[in-house]
């Protein structure tokens, strides 16, 4: 199956690169990925999949299915972009484009790589006349939307036996650590407008309430678990006229911690602070729960399979042009970013001291695999899939060492030749793992037993309340 998968991906290399490029050139933020979703869904149909659109009550979510019977192996694909990260591709200086949206997390690669893996497995089933089902999940809104969590809540993954996905990064490794759970909530204050000089006593400032809330939350930071993170963005300041008391203002909070229960505890305390700010300013407070996700649950049995197939896939040597491009990207990073490159890749599962990177700007190796008990400081909605389906994640090198996610440098490398090599490397490792899970009952059973042992002691509860629906990003 190794030769079959490698040959298939090599023969269709240009096609998958074109898919990646199309998504890159049509960046769209959470739950507004209409062009990207439609393009990927249509590509699935052309490859022989049956596509169901609008799953999970999300317009841009879809499921592409091929085959029949069990087992059912799923591949998770993302395709949303980020605001504020537009960048002309293949450049080593900051050159933003007019549309201020870009793929600064590599989801054009992520979605295409998972799609390529699903296609390779589909072709294997077809050519070998084997039973079993492969599904490609078009998952929107990972960035700030927790699209998969909504999909889990609606039962989209109910019949899946195992799920595989990946993420672009500067290294080749197994993503074996857990992640932070989170809640995202908006706090909107409504006051009374007035002339700020002539009659300030008649006004009740919603902006004052937002500022007082932020101060209160800043004091809270000292009194939460050390792994917790509290981020906020003021999404409505009430206008640009300083001589008017602002009657409306709003702030968006993202609260993270290792467990949902810890997030919920911090959330309740933040709500009390907001209520206090409303009392101090005599304003009205509206709290709107936006989204949430759980912490990721690794499946060690599947990780070991994925690692062996990553080794089988191997790493192509970078060309001199790729090395030069990576070197220039490296020199565009700040001194702090360069010094912290090991910390970035350790978060993706890298094991080592970095010695193999001496005088190099891109990796040419595969990191050893070690099951990690660490908790990543970031979050992912893949986590909620891992609570209902045995799930494993791989990462493949698509960018220069030191490249941070959510940066213009990441966007600049999004459709480079080096990035596309990494995308297909991840696709091959995932496809081979998927084929083994389809054809090796013992391997699949081991993954499922590990999963069920954990869930039996830790039942899943979706962190998003039933009444909360997906919403687009406010700008």
Residue 450 to residue 420: CA distance in whole angstroms:
33
Residue 199 to residue 266: CA distance in whole angstroms:
38
Number of domains in the chain: 2
Beta bridge partners of 132: 68
Regarding whether 415 and 285 lie in a shared domain, the answer is no
Q: Is 13 helix (H, G, I), strand (E, B) or coil?
A: helix
Instruction: For residue 1, name the pLDDT band (cuts at 50, 70, 90).
Output: confident
Q: Is 420 helix (H, G, I), strand (E, B) or coil?
A: helix
Regarding whether 25 and 146 lie in a shared domain, the answer is yes
Mean pLDDT of the chain: 97
What is the residue-wise DSSP string for 251-306? EEEEEEESSHHHHHHHHHHHHHHHHHHHHHHT-EEEEEEEEEE------HHHHHHH
Residue 244 lies in a domain: yes
475 pLDDT above the threshold of 60? no
Instruction: For residue 471, name the pLDDT band (cuts at 50, 70, 90).
Output: confident
Task: Give the pLDDT confidence of 350-403 residue by residue, as tens digits.
Answer: 999 999 999 999 999 999 999 999 998 899 999 999 999 999 999 999 999 999
Residue 137 lies in a domain: yes
Task: Give the pLDDT confidence of 72-92 residue by residue, as tens digits.
Answer: 999 999 999 999 999 999 999
Regarding whether 149 and 68 lie in a shared domain, the answer is yes
**Which helix H or strand E contains 108, and what residues bound it?**
helix 107-128
Residue 136 to residue 353: CA distance in whole angstroms:
36
Regarding whether 415 and 344 lie in a shared domain, the answer is yes
Question: What letter would DSSP give residue 340?
Answer: T
- Over range 405-421, report the average pLDDT: 98
Residue 426 lies in a domain: yes
- Over range 162-181, report the average pLDDT: 98
Regarding whether 301 and 243 lie in a shared domain, the answer is no
Cis amide leading into 71 (omega within 30): yes
Residue 474 lies in a domain: no
To the nearest 5 percent, what fractions of the chain are helix, strand and coil? 45, 20, 35
Give pLDDT, residue 354: 94
Token pair belonging to 312: 């089988």
Residue 152 to residue 159: CA distance in whole angstroms:
11
210 pLDDT above the threshold of 70? yes
Smallest Cα–Cα separation from 13: which of 24, 21, 2?
Answer: 21
Residue 472 lies in a domain: no
Residue 45 to residue 64: CA distance in whole angstroms:
8
- Over range 338-359, report the average pLDDT: 94
Give pLDDT, residue 472: 80
- Over range 316-341, report the average pLDDT: 96
Q: Enumerate residues 6+ apart whose C-beta is below 8 A from 67.
A: 122, 125, 131, 132, 133, 134
What distances in angstroms separate CA 448 from CA 71, 165, 389, 430, 444, one per listed residue?
11, 17, 8, 17, 6
Question: What letter would DSSP give residue 156?
Answer: T
Q: What is the distance, to the nearest Å, from the Cα of residue 365 to the centroid of all Cα atoms in its chain? A: 24
Residue 166 to residue 393: CA distance in whole angstroms:
5
Regarding whether 421 and 321 lie in a shared domain, the answer is yes
Q: Which of 249, 271, 292 is the last residue of a domain?
A: 292
Regarding whether 216 and 158 lie in a shared domain, the answer is no
What distances in angstroms separate CA 466 from CA 59, 141, 154, 241, 386, one per listed residue?
18, 18, 9, 39, 20
Regarding whether 211 and 166 lie in a shared domain, the answer is no
Write 439-445 long-range contacts (CB < 8 A, 24+). 439/1, 439/130, 439/132, 443/301, 443/305, 444/71, 444/161, 444/162
What distances in angstroms separate CA 406 from CA 384, 414, 473, one per listed residue?
22, 12, 17
Regarding whether 29 and 127 lie in a shared domain, the answer is yes
Helices 260-281 and 206-220 sit at what angle, rounded to 10 degrees? 140
Beta bridge partners of 392: 164
Question: What letter would DSSP give residue 244?
Answer: B
- Over range 259-267, report the average pLDDT: 98
CATH label of the domain that carries residue 203: 3.30.70.360
- pLDDT more than 90, % of the chain: 97
Regarding whether 425 and 321 lie in a shared domain, the answer is yes
Instruction: For residue 473, name the pLDDT band (cuts at 50, 70, 90).
Output: low
Instruction: For residue 474, name the pLDDT band (cuts at 50, 70, 90).
Output: low
CATH label of the domain that carries residue 149: 3.40.630.10
Regarding whether 156 and 64 lie in a shared domain, the answer is yes
Residue 471 lies in a domain: no
What residues make up the domain containing 248? 181-292
Residue 420 lies in a domain: yes
Regarding whether 347 and 324 lie in a shared domain, the answer is yes
- Over range 427-446, report the average pLDDT: 98
- Over range 299-323, report the average pLDDT: 97
Q: Which of 292, 321, 338 is the last residue of a domain?
A: 292
Residue 464 lies in a domain: no
Token pair belonging to 456: 């039996």
Beta bridge partners of 62: 53, 138
């Amino acid at each position: 199956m190794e030769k079959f998968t490698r040959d298939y991906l090599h023969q269709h290399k240009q096609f998958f690169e074109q898919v990646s490029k199309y998504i890159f050139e049509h960046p769209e933020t959470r739950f507004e990925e209409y062009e990207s979703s439609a393009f990927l869904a249509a590509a699935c149909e052309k490859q022989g999949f049956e596509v169901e659109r609008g799953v999970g009550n999300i317009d841009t979510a879809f499921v592409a299915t091929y085959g029949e019977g069990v087992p059912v192996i799923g591949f998770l694909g993302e395709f949303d972009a980020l605001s504020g990260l537009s960048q002309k591709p293949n450049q080593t200086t900051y050159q933003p484009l007019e549309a201020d949206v870009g793929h600064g997390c590599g989801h054009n690669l992520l979605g295409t790589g998972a799609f390529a893996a699903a296609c390779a497995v589909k072709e294997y089933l077809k050519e070998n006349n084997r039973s079993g089902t492969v599904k490609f999940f078009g998952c929107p809104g990972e960035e700030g939307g927790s699209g998969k969590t909504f999909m889990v809540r609606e039962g989209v993954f109910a019949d899946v036996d195992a799920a595989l996905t990946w993420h672009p990064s500067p290294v080749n490794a197994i993503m074996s650590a857990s992640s932070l759970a989170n809640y995202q909530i908006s706090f909107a204050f409504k006051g009374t407008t007035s002339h700020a000089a002539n009659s300030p006593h008649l006004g009740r400032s919603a902006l004052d309430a937002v500022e007082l809330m932020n101060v209160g939350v800043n004091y809270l930071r000292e009194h939460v678990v050390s792994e917790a993170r509290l981020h906020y963005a003021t999404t409505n300041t009430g206008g640009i006229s300083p001589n008017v008391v602002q009657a409306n203002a709003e702030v968006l909070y993202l609260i993270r911690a290792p467990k949902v229960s810890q997030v919920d505890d911090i959330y309740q305390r933040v709500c009390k602070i907001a209520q206090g700010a409303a009392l101090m300013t005599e304003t009205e407070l509206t709290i709107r729960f936006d989204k949430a996700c759980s912490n990721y649950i690794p499946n060690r049995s599947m990780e070991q399979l994925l690692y062996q197939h990553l080794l089988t896939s191997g790493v192509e040597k970078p060309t001199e042009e790729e090395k030069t491009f990576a070197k220039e990207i490296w020199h565009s990073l700040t001194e702090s970013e360069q010094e912290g490159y090991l910390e970035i890749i350790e978060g993706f599962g890298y094991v080592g001291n970095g010695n193999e990177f001496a005088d190099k700007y891109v990796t040419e190796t595969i990191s050893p695999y070690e099951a990690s008990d660490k908790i990543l400081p970031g979050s992912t909605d893949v986590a909620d899939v891992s609570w209902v389906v045995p799930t494993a994640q791989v990462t493949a090198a698509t960018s220069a060492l030191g490249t941070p996610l959510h940066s213009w440098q990441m966007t600049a490398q999004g459709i480079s030749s080096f990035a596309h090599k990494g995308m297909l490397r991840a696709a091959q490792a995932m496809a081979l793992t998927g084929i083994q899970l389809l054809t090796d009952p013992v391997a699949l059973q081991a993954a499922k037993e590990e999963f069920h042992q954990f869930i039996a002691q830790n039942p899943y509860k979706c962190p998003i309340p039933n009444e909360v629906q997906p919403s687009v990003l406010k700008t």
